[in-house]
Chains A and B, each alone.
Chain A
Amino acid sequence: MRRNIFGWWAARVGLLIGPAGCAGNQSMFSPAGVDALATLNLFWVMLAGAVVIWFALNGLFLYVTRIHVGKMSRRLAEAVIIGGGILFPLVVLSALLIYSLPMMGEQRAPDDGLRVRVTAERWWWRVEYWPDGATAPIIAANELRLPVDQRTEIELTAGEVIHSFWIPALGGKTDMFPGRITRMTLAPSETGTFRGQCAEFCGLSHALMAIPAVIMEPAAFDGWLREQALPATSSGAGRAVFLREGCGACHAVRGTPAAGRVGPDLTHLGGRTALAAGILPMTADALRAWITNPEAIKPGAEMPAYDHLDESDLAALAAYLMGLK
């Protein structure tokens, strides 16, 4: 099942059409990774068992309280305790553990060369790509791109508080701690864009911390990564506004004097699928709304409001940023 390459923003338009739209692309029911698929299969097995057991147990209760209220033999009753309370769960649970425990190792298998470090900030994501043999990372933010059919290691850490990294269509989640590195690996099996979201409560805007994961063919991914390593090419009037307003104190745009590390790296902002950690579309309008009043969109966001910019400055700034492909 190939996903719409325009990601979940396209789904905004085609709202809930058909079963695919219904499942959404943050759903465990549309797996696009080896691990997510294995876990979904595990779920179907467990669900089938659970439904049978639920009906059996409640059926038995109904039977002895409503249908057959006469006395039954004590031996039978004791057999029910031993059989239902000990033997049956022992067998079923052992089987389930034997089936499921090895999956942990499979889902934590080593990577095939690429390593990505994701650092959770409040409330956005630093993303650093470390291809095999790299000595310095290629820096991006708020979007994860992975090559299909390869296992990639995701190295996780956090800035101030605990977060959790989770892209349901690809696999399970792992928590991100300040001052500690945790690891997981993901093996996407389909190209497309899949939405992930912070899963550990991290304060005011926990609900507004998403991350699109774009899965690409390996060749396309390599090309994209090479471009990411390059400095920015955009210019125009907006560039001057950007530098004049001091945006560079927090944001880096490689190839310009802006080298801040507090906020997301914006070198290739315009090429990303979404803005403000997956909560706004990457459009000039959304950029303007964000710049004028981030607090209104993401409560507690640290970026100050640039509501003093006049119309032409804003338009130029948005155009400049959109041009950072």
Chain B
Amino acid sequence: MTDRDQGTYPPTEKMLAQPVPDDVAKGQEERLRKVWAQPPGWRYWSAVNNTEVGVWYCLTATFFMLLAGILALLMRVQLAVPENDFLDADRYNQFFTMHGSAMMFLFAVPIFEAISILILPSLLGARDMPFPRLSAYGFWCFVIGGIFVMGSILFDAAPNAGWFMYPPLSTEHGGIGTDIWLLGLSFIEVASIAAAVELIVGVLKCRPPGMRVNIMPLYAWYVLVVGGMIVFAFPPLIAGDFLLEMQRSFDWPFFDPERGGDPMLWQHLFWIFGHPEVYIIFLPSIAVTAMIIPTAARRPIVGYSWIVLSAVGTGFLSFGLWVHHMFATGLPSISLGFFSAASEAVVLPTGIQIFAFVATLMVGRVRMIHPMLWIAGALAIFVAGGLTGVMVAIVPFDWQVHDTYFIVAHLHYTVFGGMLFPVIGGIYYFYPVIAKKQLSERLGRWAFWLAFTGFNVTFLPMHLTGMRGMPRRVFTYPGDLGWNWLNMISTIGAFVMATGLLIFVYDLLRPKGKQPDPPRNPWDAGTLEWTHNVPAESWGIRSIPYVNTRYPLWQQPKMQQRIDAGRYYLPDAQEGKRETLVTSVIDAHPLHVQRVTGPAWITIWAAVFTGGAFIFPTFHWYPPAIVSAVLAVACVIYWNWTSTAEIPEAETKDAGLGLRLPLYVSGPDAVGWWAVWITMLADATAFSSLVFSVFFYWTASTQFPPQGAGFANPVLMAIGTGLVVASWALTAWARRDAGRGAMAALAVAMLAACAGGGVLILALWLPDMDPTAHVYPAMMWALVVWVIVHLIAGVVLQGYCLAGLAFGKITRRYDAPLWNSLLFWHFLCLTVLVTGAMVAIAPRLMT
């Protein structure tokens, strides 16, 4: 029985007005509290709920930010005077590489995901994120990867080829620094994508009943846009990392011009990631601003639709600008002109968002609450960074200032104004929701003015330093070029700024036990997160409200009291299970009750072994890496087997307000299916990047494939592809049957997939295509290796389903794993068909 809801929906005013008897409410509260309680003692670290993981995530990202900031201060000391020997060249290079890499990969992106994991459920009136263990897994991966990458500095082994890792500098470099970067950060990128998938599903499927997409908080819109950008932007970098690491470890010459490779390919792949990355870190702070501004103006945002369209527009545009990081690479003027105009075009959506905020302040009655001070500072800084951005998007000007301190100034103006200041403002704003305490306004003012002044003293002179000719990434400079006093001022400013930021961090971390509880809604805001409980309750929200306005606390006046009384949905936990409500994507129509996972150590083990699989290859220790990978897969299987898609004790349950909702759904109704879809989009994007690489080599070189090169065996390619397609067809059939026949089909499908993979390898092996000889065979092998890795995952999924059917975890009615596995196989089937065409057919046409 997969039908939708049974009962009345939407709830009538009469139903909502009915009081909940006190004793009933008491009992409900007790059960909820028990179900959602944090594990005690040392088991606290096995917690997976968003309120715990989110806080750890934020603090860890902040910790990495402080470390990267210390590196910046040390670099400023080195540059304070000319020809200084405080840091030697190699250490300086390690420091600037790690400063950039850590700020980007260990702070800017993770802090967005951390804050979002922390507050998104409360913005949406949800109990938790849809996959709490996935967030915990992502967090632990982040911790392990971050410590590994940052820790390398202590052993003088940190990456030192710049955060952009341009080959050939990065390919020929001795030492393990580059491998640490490639593998450590790929690991973190995978965790970032996992978090993005979860956030997207959270926004799409975990909104409260009635909250249609056009009334959801702007923050949620930005999460959706930024999550989508992560899904499409990170995979090209992961593909690039894969190619670069294959060159470093196995000498496959992707970027070696002597064997047909091309260092420009890396630059394209890196910046196809790198430019959206800029907006991935910028848009979340606009999102925070979009929450603070209406509260300060005491009225709903003006131009909601304009802002949403602009955010989506910025997201799209950001994928078409990457070449503006490559203006000096000698590309033809016509392409430069196009990318110059496209880069300027992004001013429009950015401008609309800023002016919509100004417009909201105009029509409101503004109250300068403390977070607004940070927003005002952010505006002053960001607008300056945006204006220099307009300048550097102009090609001739960029030819001059590219890779100088002018760019250092420009980018710090955009990231401080467009990221750090709004995020700090947001932390002041959301702190009562998170910690049930308030930050000190007095310390906040000190922090702000020191950071703001220090920032401008540091970075404003850098525009001039750059125009006077100082290039970036130099560990020293001669004393007679007019850069001395400018650098000295910048160094002094950096320490002033650091003092301000330290005051903020102190205020954040200082014990506040004696502080009285703050008011529940100290800023008189209108959105759902302010229905939180003070003092804290672990249940997230007492009952999940019916929301039909953008600012429910302003526009649905009885809401707070009804939430607290347990009048709305899921006010109880009768079965002792953690539950949240899943609704439809557009209208937020209630669909089913989702049982979410609870505390577990298995997520930590999974993260540890995944870390091993990425970290051991850095040292070329392949056997332990393979063992780690197998154990990681085993952990993930165990965790899925024991806690997801469990067969419920009943078909439906009373979700409150007379609504009965199913407890088990599969296919497109299920959040898991959506997560697989989005993950596979990311996966397909990475694969597309490899296909793009083939065409890039073909267009950029006349030697792809080189004269007289061999081709893959076409018959074997056809057989191998055919076997994989057959495996896919059998999986599809198994999904339909989901019975005894399905078990046989899956068993045959697994054999077909293994055989297919073997034949595909033979198709390249037999014609003796040597991947180290030239980039053409290397690229063909890269595509086949990609397919093989996915076939292994595909076979594991088939085996999981087979076991599920055999042990009664999967039945005709309860078939979610079959749906999800088949979805993976749809993408795999497409991947293998494209690979077959690219390997067996395309090279013959390219000569």
A residues with CB within 8 A of B: 8, 11-12, 15-16, 21-29, 35-36, 38-39, 42-43, 46-47, 50, 53-54, 57-58, 60-62, 64-66, 69-74, 76-78, 80-81, 84-86, 88-90, 93, 96-97, 100-101, 103-105, 107-108, 156, 160-162, 164, 166, 168, 171-175, 177-180, 182-184, 195, 197-208, 279, 299-300
Contacts A8-B481, A74-B363 known; A84 to B351 CB distance under 8 Å?
yes
Q: Which residues of B contact A200 (CB under 8 A)?
A: 166, 328, 403
Complex contact A81–B473 (CB within 8 A) = no
Q: Which residues of B contact A61 (CB under 8 A)?
A: 358, 361, 376, 379
CB distance from B756 to the nearest CB of A (A): 37
- One of A43, A93, A161, A175 near B344 (C-beta < 8 A): A93
Contact pattern, B 165-194, Cβ under 8 Å of A = 1, otherwise 0: 010110011000000000000000000000
- One of A66, A107, A183, A197 near B399 (C-beta < 8 A): A107
Complex contact A162–B168 (CB within 8 A) = yes
Q: Which residues of B contact A54 (CB under 8 A)?
A: 383-384, 387
Q: Check: B643 CB closer than 8 A to any chain A CB.
A: no
- One of B359, B379, B387 near A81 (C-beta < 8 A): B359
CB distance from B483 to the nearest CB of A (A): 7
Interface size on B, residues (CB 8 A): 88
Q: Which residues of B contact A71 (CB under 8 A)?
A: 363-365
Residues of B469-488 contacting chain A, CB below 8 A: 469-484
Contacts A50-B390, A61-B376 known; A89 to B351 CB distance under 8 Å?
yes
**What are 27 A-B contacts with C-beta separation under 8 Å?**
A24-B482, A28-B400, A43-B400, A46-B394, A54-B387, A61-B376, A64-B362, A65-B361, A71-B363, A72-B363, A78-B359, A84-B355, A85-B310, A88-B351, A101-B341, A101-B395, A104-B396, A105-B333, A107-B399, A161-B168, A172-B402, A177-B263, A179-B258, A182-B330, A184-B330, A204-B93, A206-B473
Q: Check: B354 CB closer than 8 A to any chain A CB.
A: yes
Q: Using CB atoms, name the residue of chain A closest to B327.
A: A172
- One of A26, A90, A164, A173 near B468 (C-beta < 8 A): A26
- One of A23, A42, A65, A201 near B394 (C-beta < 8 A): A42
Question: For the complex, would chain B's binding face be called helix, strand, loop or mixed by DSSP majority?
Answer: helix
Q: Check: B821 CB closer than 8 A to any chain A CB.
A: no
Complex contact A77–B482 (CB within 8 A) = no
8 pairs of A and B residues whose beta carbons are closest in the complex? A172-B399, A179-B257, A182-B330, A26-B469, A207-B474, A85-B352, A77-B359, A24-B482
Q: How long is the Cα–Cα vector from A11 to B480 in the complex, in angstroms?
A: 7
Q: How long is the Cα–Cα vector from A71 to B475 in the complex, in angstroms?
A: 53
A-B contacts besides A77-B302, A77-B362, A197-B471, 7 pairs, CB < 8 Å: A36-B400, A65-B368, A89-B351, A96-B390, A103-B395, A161-B168, A202-B169
- One of B351, B384, B388, B399 near A86 (C-beta < 8 A): B351
Q: Using CB atoms, name the residue of chain A closest to B364.
A: A71
Q: Check: B88 CB closer than 8 A to any chain A CB.
A: yes
Complex contact B328–A72 (CB within 8 A) = no
Q: Check: B329 CB closer than 8 A to any chain A CB.
A: yes
Contacts A64-B362, A279-B478 known; A177 to B328 CB distance under 8 Å?
no
Residues of B359-381 contacting chain A, CB below 8 A: 359-366, 368, 372, 376, 379-380
CB distance from B92 to the nearest CB of A (A): 8
Contacts A60-B358, A179-B257, A207-B89 known; A199 to B471 CB distance under 8 Å?
yes
Q: Which residues of B contact A203 (CB under 8 A)?
A: 93, 161, 169, 173
Complex contact B469–A69 (CB within 8 A) = no
Q: Which residues of B contact A160 (CB under 8 A)?
A: 168, 172
Q: How long is the Cα–Cα vector from A28 to B396 in the complex, in angstroms?
A: 13
Complex contact A93–B329 (CB within 8 A) = no
Complex contact B166–A24 (CB within 8 A) = no
Complex contact A168–B330 (CB within 8 A) = no
CB distance from B391 to the nearest CB of A (A): 5
Complex contact B480–A15 (CB within 8 A) = yes
